[in-house]
Structure 1
């Protein structure tokens, strides 16, 4: 009997993108048994549009961020007994052969004890930040090291230790052992934390070179193996260096949601360090430096009182492990 596959899409107020994502899923050359959509508090007409669609399993909830959305989506898919759970945001559009290419790795498909991932393409470039490696023995910043183009060029299948949620296809047995993404993270580094738990439990993550998923851009008709090699060739002919994406921390006179997200990112990284790594000088120095950087940021801002409350709350949550995203948002909204 052929394994059952469900796609899980998390959406928040991006109906136009969601429509394209679902269309891309329905065009897959390998059958998807069902599509689960998690509506993260959308109020842009998403609910009304989905209710008129056939063949979708819909769940509604308040906005719990990406981490809460994927937690709910994987949980619901697991409860329904699917063998494979293919997850993505609403701005991800898999090439029509994406799922087929991932499952064509016959030397791997003998059980459901691993994860399959496609190559992420954005703006006609491979986004290497979505796939790479995490050391579970040595804490470092950034937490993940992106896969490089030389490794991607050599082989069709690569064993990696980190994958973002964009196109991650999870075997049922992994969910049974590892559990669900940490819903408390809300945004940033929840995929890192989940990858660490997957690795700690001895499971493998594989990157399939010929499987492609487009991120934030329209999917195009491609010949996957030729397309990826062409993108790698284009990358080699440019002088741009790979840089890590960071939250915009430019100076503002008043607190914005970017400040809240930055606090969540800081909180989540520190919590990962405290929970998954042995406390040592490296981690202690990182936390100390981060606190100093935070003080310097606050010193340059006009709305210091509220910003101090925001950072103190996020650091407290990181050290205690008692997360409250609502608390951070309440501080931001306080007059």
Structure 2
């Protein structure tokens, strides 16, 4: 029988984490092991996890989602699990989510994702999917299929074959947040592994937001979204052409911020420009406290 490990990454969302873990314990096919990666939480998560005997807890400084999943996937892979089931702490798995992934068609080494359903409106997807000839917005857009190729919401119920990990490695912890999951998905696709969604397997998740519309100071997270996009372009289109595509995309995206009517459009413009410049220079070292635009905002808004 194949061995399956669940990997949950958490940071300062103890209430959400408890609900997520409960949904894993209630699975009709329970994971053989649950790893929880605690990214240096300061809300009592550490103390609570230490009281849970049925978990393997790995605590580290806050390395973002990328660093959390890099640690968890690497540990589970080294422990020789056949499949690794990855999720954020604000996910809720339907009781048969894992069982349905395992019952889905055998397509060899691959990545199989649960469908992400809006926890506030269960007729709507948590993340809309835009394809050239098809748009997925509602759950029924997905459930008419047994399997949907080329679509997956990493890391929200993402089941990864150990053979895929052997070939593509682990997530790049330098990417920190926002875009790290897309980079990992496109890395798998670049190596020829099927990436699919199984609509019968359901995960509930808060709905996505308009990231361009996030108010400051929270909008600093867009730094990583822009900076990490270069890696996605290069996975999709090759190093040279992907680099050129990113350069033109980032210039357009940066000036679109300045032209918008948002209150903090100047800060958005500076942030996008900083992120694009760092990406073109291959500077993936910055953490939130060293993002120049964020430091400027805090100085100007003391």
TM-score bracket for the superposition, by shorter chain length: 0.7 to 0.9
Is residue 4 from structure 1 mapped to residue 6 from structure 2 by the alignment? no
What is the deviation of 1:297? 6.5
Secondary structure of the structure 1 residue equivalent to 2:156: coil
Greater CA deviation, 270-279 or 207-216? Answer: 270-279
What is the deviation of 1:312? 4.7
Is residue 287 from structure 1 mapped to residue 245 from structure 2 by the alignment? no
Structure 1 residue runs of 5 or longer lacking an equivalent are 136-143, 218-243
Query: How many residues matched?
Result: 291
CA RMSD of aligned residues (A): 3.2
CA distance in 2, matches of 1:51, 1:280: 45
**Change in 2 beyond 3 A, CA 1:303/1:114:** closer
CA distance in 2, matches of 1:12, 1:167: 18
The residue aligned with 1:94 is: 93
**Change in 2 beyond 3 A, CA 1:283/1:104:** same
TM-score, normalisation: structure 1: 0.76
Is residue 64 from structure 1 mapped to residue 63 from structure 2 by the alignment? yes
What is the deviation of 1:320? 2.1
Secondary structure of the structure 1 residue equivalent to 2:6: strand
CA distance in 1, matches of 2:243, 2:230: 13
**Change in 2 beyond 3 A, CA 1:72/1:133:** farther
The residue aligned with 2:111 is: 115
The residue aligned with 1:209 is: 199
Structure 2 residue runs of 5 or longer lacking an equivalent are none
The residue aligned with 1:124 is: 121
Secondary structure of the structure 1 residue equivalent to 2:86: strand
Q: Which has the larger radius of gyration?
A: 1
CA-to-aligned-CA distance 1:93-118 (integer Å, 9 cap, x gap): 1111111111112x407x5x111211
Native 8 Å contact 1:115 1:170 kept in 2: yes
CA distance in 1, matches of 2:137, 2:189: 16
Is residue 174 from structure 1 mapped to residue 164 from structure 2 by the alignment? yes
The residue aligned with 1:256 is: 217
CA distance in 2, matches of 1:205, 1:186: 22
